[in-house]
Amino acid sequence: MPTITGQRIARAGAIVVASFLAAELALRAAALVAGERIDRLRPDASLLADADVAVYGDSTPFGLGAATSFPTELARLTGLKVVNRSRPGINSSQTYLILRDDLERYAPRIVLVMTGVNDVWNLADVDAELLGPLGFWRQHLPELRLVRMARIWWTAGRGASAFETVKPEAHAWGRRDETARQLPSDGARRITRANLEKIVALTRAKGAKLLFLGYQAGGWNGSATRVDGLLAEHYADRFIELASLFAGDGGSLLQADGFHPTDEGQRRIAERIEGELVKRGLIAG
């Protein structure tokens, strides 16, 4: 017969397990709610039916932290119908999947893609063969949200607020080192390159004119600079460079996090894209 002490230990263990499961489910539910709220801000895919330009990518084209976005400003400048299908935090694999699903039903004439900066930490939906030794873990034992939150919290510091654990201080993108360590930089490069190739093949098959956009700043641990290097090396004929717009005094065009553009930064990006579209003969000058 179990002793009283044994019963107490078993009861305490059951309470810990139940609490852990409840917290994990709560975090997953919160993530779903947040995702639904973000999706409500994204134009519906049906708007692509008569779109001139479709934009795909992560938080920069989405306009995170700004009152506008470069897709919105591009539409204002050119009079074109521009549909923004971007979503904050997604990686290049997820960008490809969204684009693939959209192009199965719709045929925008021009496709603009800004993606890859999140490949160094967001490993969701990445083909297992691209992950190397991480493949089995990510495919069969996905990381618990509680574990990830605890690791970020620990790295941020014991005295940090909940806000500080998820939002870097000014110019401190290195805070996400703890997630970047999951995948060496050459692994992130391999993932980005593979998805860029898939995006090129997909848009070519659908007859869309594709242009890749570089990033405005270096990103977490130079992740955006790595993407720019890939684009310049392999897709120079499709590459619109943006970093020079934000060099020097252009730093004032970035938000306090040192990465996401301000409203004026978003407008400057739109102006450069407009100029490139005219120069490449894709729109009238």
CB atoms closer than 10 angstroms to residue 239: 18
Contact 89, 124 (CB under 8 A): no
**Cα 121 from Cα 236, distance rounded (Å):** 26
**Cα 193 from Cα 92, distance rounded (Å):** 9
Token pair listed for 89: 């935090």
What is the average per-residue pLDDT within 30-38?
A: 47
pLDDT at 211: 98
pLDDT of residue 236 exceeding 70, the answer is yes
Provide the terminal-to-terminal Cα distance of the chain, rounded to the nearest Å.
87
3-state secondary structure of 221: helix
Q: Which residue has the tokens 């980005």?
A: 192
Where b means 16+ CB within 10 Å and e means fewer, 162-181 reads eeebeebeeeebebbebbbe
Burial of 222 (0-12, 13-18, 19+ CB in 10 A): middle
What's the predicted TM-score (pTM) here?
Answer: 0.76
What is the average per-residue pLDDT within 268-283?
A: 98
pLDDT confidence bin for 14, thresholds 50/70/90: confident
pLDDT at 143: 57
pLDDT at 178: 45
pLDDT of residue 175 exceeding 60, the answer is no
pLDDT of residue 81 exceeding 90, the answer is yes
What is the average per-residue pLDDT within 193-214?
A: 98
The CATH fold assigned to 47-134+183-279 is Rossmann fold (3.40.50)
Q: What residues does each domain of the chain span?
A: 1-41, 47-134+183-279
> Among 120, 119, 116, 114, which residue's Cα sits nearest to residue 261?
114
Q: What is the pLDDT of residues 97-119, one digit of tens each?
A: 999 999 999 999 999 999 999 99
pLDDT of residue 169 exceeding 70, the answer is no
For residues 111, 117, 119 and 122, what is the CA-based torsion angle, rounded to 10 degrees?
-110
> Among 1, 87, 12, 99, which residue's Cα sits nearest to residue 48?
99
Strand partners, 55: 84, 112
The Cα angle at residue 253 between residues 282 and 58, in degrees rounded to 5: 60
